[in-house]
Chain A
Amino acid sequence: MATKLREVDVVVVGLGWTGGILGKELAEAGLKVIALERGGMRTSDKDYALPGIRDELRYVIRHDLMQNTARDTLTIRNNPSQEALPMRRLGSFLPGEGVGGSGVHWSGHTWRWTDMEFKVRSLYEERYGKNFIPADMTIRDWGITYAELEPYYDKFEYTAGVSGRAGNLRGEIKPGGNPFEAPRQREYPLPPLTTLLAGEMFAAAARESGYHPFPRPSANTSRAYTNPDGARFGACQYCGYCQRFGCEANAKGSPHMTVIPFALRNSNFELRTHSWVTKVIKDSDGKRVTGVAYTNVLNGEEFEQPAGLVLLCAYAINNVHLMLLSQIGKPYDPVTETGVIGRNYCYQTGTGATLFFEGRHFNPFMSAGGSITTIDDFNINWEFDRAPHGFVGGYNVSAGFNSALPIGYRPVPAGTPQWGKAWKAATARWYQAAMTIGASGSVMANRYNYYDLDPTYRNAFGQPLMRMTFDYKENEHRMGRHAAQLINNLASSMNPTKLNPAVARTQPWTVVPYQSTHNTGGTVMGSNPREAAVNKYLQSWDCHNLFVIGANVFPHNASYNPTGPVGALAYWTADAIKNRYLRNPGPLVQA
């Protein structure tokens, strides 16, 4: 029998970037906020300090900061005709757990997604005609504009301590920045990270080919920084242990050292760790939610936490799972193409080449999470004509290093034996002399890529696992072929001693190896409740006092990392709640 607790104003489910931002903002607005985090407390000094943090076996191979698949996982299949099987070990994507969530182990790449994403269907239809978009590609406009989000991108960049160089300052194209970015009102809070040799060589080749290299914007502080809230950052030391690690120098913008400590200092805010939310509770009329049910995972005790507002701020996948488990919104059915919860699940695609230069020393172990040089000429450059290549979306191309670690990073030329004396010799010979060029590509929504509840398998709480049905479609294969050719042309122009060329992936997606923790969609935003789970303020179309925040609201996935718009949308939603919802509780948009 669950213990019913006293009602609070707001319950936040999951304490990472979005929960931290909303928890802090709403507690400061005077609301009583309870945050329920299923993992434990984690702080820089106790958990990420030297020497313990530099442990590739613990953090990369054994996933120390990630979710535990023995307690809950997903079942996976490529298409509806297959039987889905449980993912018993994390692989392709690595959702975080514990205070700070995935915002602890991310690399820091912070992009501003533009109207090329937010108006994807109307822009492509206008330029290429309705028939250019395949019938099963369920992309649609997001119902929000870049201009609306710009101040919130700015706020997130200054909170997270992003290093970068503006390419478009209030409409003026600035040398050395990304000329294709949408106009920003002011510079990044910090100058760009130091460019690595691999980035310099890539930039020279890219310029030679007429492209526009720039330093990737990233929340690795290029020098010491104090953010507007007063959170203090050290300078990035290029230690090489970024992705999948907490930062040993407080130099990576992370919720546990920015927004969360400020929330915790506020007497309106309370954190309960090891608290696993199993369900959002609907009111009898179905138009509101009344709180959440959760279990203390240390002792199995069950609670009901009533709240005036429920904010789902867990990892994108878990937010969708909770909506399905709570039966809020109609589950998506790909056969009839009706329902909303679970639709438009998207991922990312990519390819890459490894270049070997006899006699070069790249020092790959010395890097920041974002010490990467990038081109967007085939991404958010609308001048790039997609018609001859027949794909929707784009890809960014980059070179540099991020966490090239001793166990996992052993580049050898193709044809080298995979073990033994010859492999050792090749590793010793090429470790310092190799660099990579990689492409990260968008994935457009497809009718048959979606989530629902698995009919067979259950988690530790006896609830159905979420089932993920996903595969790349012809659109992604076409983009992959274009990207591979582009990379190989650039790589050849650099005259490497040896080259492992990029190959477009056309095999079905699998859950191994690691690819990207950029899972999007499932409770998408939009102006039509028949196609979207939430409105432009991330408010549930079904229950007006429920907000669902995270990359789960993206109707499709871009080539960019998602954290920029995730952070911006969290601030955007906080403002909508503070300035509009509290004054007049109810739907913020009329259907």
Chain B
Amino acid sequence: MNARTAGAGALLCATALVAAAVSTALADGDAARGEKRFEECAACHSVERGSNGIGPSLHGVFGRKAGAIPEFRYSPALRRSGITWTRESLDSYIADPQKAVPANRMPYAGMLGAADRADLIAYLERATK
């Protein structure tokens, strides 16, 4: 149990480091391009308030705790992740969802390009308010 806790701590540190490293790239995101990137998400996610599909609504996602919409059935992994959605945490989650939150249920392999993710996040910042 101790070893597991220690491992989780190390993972969090690593995530924080990665997030710090990419935060400058995030600042350059282009929301118009990001809207196009959102096509990869739109089959399951809406930015409208209360509009849950296969995935939960992304309205108001920034600053929200992961797994917080009461009427959506999240995976236990996401509910227990302790994540609060910020540019940085969204960036690492979208880059490789299974690495960021193992055993989460989002059927998506990840968006590889850091610039694409920055564009997407810039769009989400605008569209989810």
A residues in contact (CB < 8 Å) with B: 44-45, 48-51, 223-226, 232-235, 237, 239, 248-251, 257
Contact = CB atoms under 8 A, between A and B. Distances in A.
6 nearest A-B pairs in the assembled complex, by CB-CB distance? A234-B43, A250-B43, A50-B105, A249-B107, A224-B40, A232-B43
Contacts of B43: 224, 232-234, 249-251, 257
Residue among A51, A224, A237 having the largest count of chain B Cβ atoms under 10 Å? A224
Nearest to A233: B43
Contacts of A232: 39, 42-43
Contacts, number: 52
Contacts of A251: 43
B6 interface: no
B44 A250 contact: yes
Interface of B: 39-44, 52-54, 73, 75, 105, 107-109
Contact of B39 (A224, A237, A249, A257): A224
A467 B78 CA distance: 52
A492 B39 CA distance: 45
Contacts of B44: 234, 249-250
Nearest to B40: A224
B42 A248 contact: no
Residues of B contacting A: mostly: loop
B39 A50 contact: no
B53 A45 contact: yes
Residues of A contacting B: mostly: loop
Contact of A248 (B41, B54, B73): B54
Given A234-B44, A250-B44, A45 B54 contact: yes
Contact of B40 (A45, A235, A248, A257): A235
A235 B44 CA distance: 11
B107 A239 contact: yes
A50 B107 contact: yes
A301 to B, nearest CB: 33
A367 to B, nearest CB: 14
A248 B53 contact: no
A237 B75 CA distance: 18
A237 B53 contact: no
28 contacts: A44-B53, A44-B54, A45-B52, A45-B53, A50-B107, A223-B40, A224-B40, A224-B41, A224-B42, A224-B43, A225-B39, A226-B42, A232-B42, A232-B43, A234-B40, A234-B41, A234-B44, A234-B107, A234-B108, A235-B109, A237-B107, A237-B108, A239-B107, A248-B54, A248-B107, A249-B108, A250-B43, A251-B43
Contacts of A239: 107
A237 B40 CA distance: 12
Contacts of B40: 223-224, 234-235
Nearest to B106: A50
Nearest to A257: B43
B86 to A, nearest CB: 24
Given A50-B107, A51-B75, A226 B54 contact: no
A249 B42 contact: no
Contacts of A45: 52-54
Contacts of A250: 43-44, 54
B53 to A, nearest CB: 5
Contacts of B42: 224, 226, 232
Nearest to A225: B39
A282 to B, nearest CB: 44
Contacts of A249: 43-44, 54, 107-108
Contacts of B107: 50, 234, 237, 239, 248-249
A369 to B, nearest CB: 14
Given A232-B42, A234-B40, A239-B107, 18 more contacts: A44-B54, A45-B53, A51-B105, A224-B39, A224-B40, A225-B39, A232-B39, A232-B43, A237-B108, A248-B54, A248-B107, A249-B43, A249-B54, A249-B107, A249-B108, A250-B54, A251-B43, A257-B43
Contacts of A48: 54
Residue among B43, B44, B73, B105 having the largest count of chain A Cβ atoms under 10 Å? B43
A250 B44 CA distance: 7
A224 B44 CA distance: 11
Nearest to A231: B43
Contacts of A235: 40, 108-109
A234 B107 CA distance: 9
A39 to B, nearest CB: 21
B115 to A, nearest CB: 17
A361 B53 CA distance: 36
A235 B42 CA distance: 10
A239 B54 CA distance: 16
A239 B41 CA distance: 17
A95 B51 CA distance: 32
B2 to A, nearest CB: 30
A492 to B, nearest CB: 37
Nearest to B53: A45
Contacts of A237: 107-109
Contacts of B105: 49-51
A237 B108 CA distance: 7
A239 B75 CA distance: 17
A257 B54 CA distance: 11
A235 B75 CA distance: 21
A237 to B, nearest CB: 5
Residue among A50, A237, A257 having the largest count of chain B Cβ atoms under 10 Å? A50
A226 to B, nearest CB: 6
B82 to A, nearest CB: 21
